[in-house]
Every structure is written in C-alpha cells, then in structure tokens.
C-alpha cells in the first residue's frame, strides 16, 4: 500500500499559514473595534462641550454606579447608556424584559430604562439644579419594530435630538452654572473597569 509521504516542511508551512490567517483575522477585528470606538467618540464630542467616558459616579450610598458616557451639552448634562444589539428588538416602557430576534437566535434582556433612571439620579445628586437628561443609545445594527420606547435614541438620531455644538461661539456655550456643575461632577468621577461598548 502506497501512501502520500509526509513532508515536515509542508506541515510547518501549513501551520504557519493558519497562524498568520488567525492573526490577520483578529487584527482586522481589533481594527474594526478601534475604528467604531473612534467614530462613536467623535460623534459624541460633536454634540457636547465636554465629555467623560466609561466612568464610575458616586451613587449616594457609599458605592459607585457605572456610566458609559456623560456629556455637557447646551441643554445641561446628558447621561448615555450605550447598547449594541443586533436584530429586531421588541421593547416597551411597561415591559420588564425586552426581546431580540435575528439570524436564528432569540434572547431577552432586562428593560434598561430603570437602570438609566438610577444613573440620572446619581448625576443629579451631584450637579444640583442643572438639568440632567438620559438616553439609551442603540447602535444602528438593531431595529425597534413596534415603535421606539421612551428615552431610546438610535445612533443615527443623536445629532438630530442633540444638535452639533458650535464650538467657539459664545452664544452656544453652556451657562456658567452648567460649567461649574460639570467641574464638580468631573472631580468625583473614577475610571470604570467596564468594557467599552462599540456601536
């Protein structure tokens, strides 16, 4: 019985080729993540005079609460909870669980609105009378089929709801009390160990 001879050099070359392909794949994925992150941060910076990302805020009970992004806008302070959810999203204000369906999978996650209210309250306790708003910022890879729930904004709509800031134009600058409150807030922030959500 004759067999195909095994040449060690070919095995080594094949293994090296597989390794290079794997490295190229992971390098490309890392590049995509960095690119999405850079794009998201640039987009958020356009609608804000100042921003803090991936931070812990005192919760008023001796602990801290994670916040993805906090922005100082001409309207006050904006708290953003970012979500990358691919597929069709079924969610509503009165639903305790929201459901996602897409490409052969179905899963649920907790309604994120109550957690957003907690984050807003933590920031409000620090900035006092300055207006604090919150939004659940969803990436464009998902779609709400039955209408968009309260406080949800899709990534493409962020500049619609919060217009681009005209930096350097004093008529668009936040009032001095907003800036003082922002300084007070930033002084109490800590870096968060949570992973960055790339939209």
Nearest residue to 92 (alpha-carbon basis) of 158, 153, 152, 154: 152
What band does 7 get if pLDDT is binned at 50, 70 and 90? low
* pTM metric for this prediction: 0.82
Task: Classify residue 88 by burial, with Cβ atoms within 10 Å: 0-12, 13-18, 19+.
Answer: middle
Q: For the segment 13-67, what is each residue's pLDDT rounded down to a tens digit?
A: 777 777 777 777 676 676 667 777 888 899 999 999 999 999 999 998 999 999 9
Task: State the number of CA atoms in the 13 A half-sphere of 152 facing the CB.
Answer: 24
Residues 6+ away with beta carbon under 8 Å from 146 = 90, 92
Q: Which residue has the higher pLDDT, 5 or 154?
A: 154
Residue 65 phi, psi dihedral angles, 5° rounding: -125, 135
């Amino acid at each position: 019985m004759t067999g195909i001879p095994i040449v060690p050099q070919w095995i080594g070359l094949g293994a090296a080729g597989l390794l290079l392909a794997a490295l190229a794949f992971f390098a490309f994925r890392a590049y995509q993540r960095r690119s999405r992150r850079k794009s998201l941060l640039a987009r958020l910076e356009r609608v804000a005079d100042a921003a803090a990302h991936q931070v812990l805020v005192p919760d008023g009970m001796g602990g801290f609460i994670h916040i993805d992004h906090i922005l100082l806008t001409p309207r006050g302070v904006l708290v953003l909870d970012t979500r990358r959810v691919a597929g069709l999203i079924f969610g509503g204000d009165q639903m305790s669980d929201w459901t996602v369906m897409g490409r052969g999978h179905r899963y649920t996650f907790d309604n994120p609105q109550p957690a957003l209210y907690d984050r807003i309250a933590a920031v409000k306790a620090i900035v006092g009378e300055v207006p604090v708003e919150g939004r659940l910022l969803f990436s464009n890879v998902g779609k709400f089929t039955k209408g968009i729930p309260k406080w949800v904004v899709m990534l493409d709509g962020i500049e619609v709801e919060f217009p681009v800031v005209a930096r350097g134009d004093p008529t668009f600058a936040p009032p001095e009390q907003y800036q003082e409150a922002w300084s007070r807030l930033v002084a109490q922030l800590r870096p968060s160990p949570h992973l960055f959500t790339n939209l």
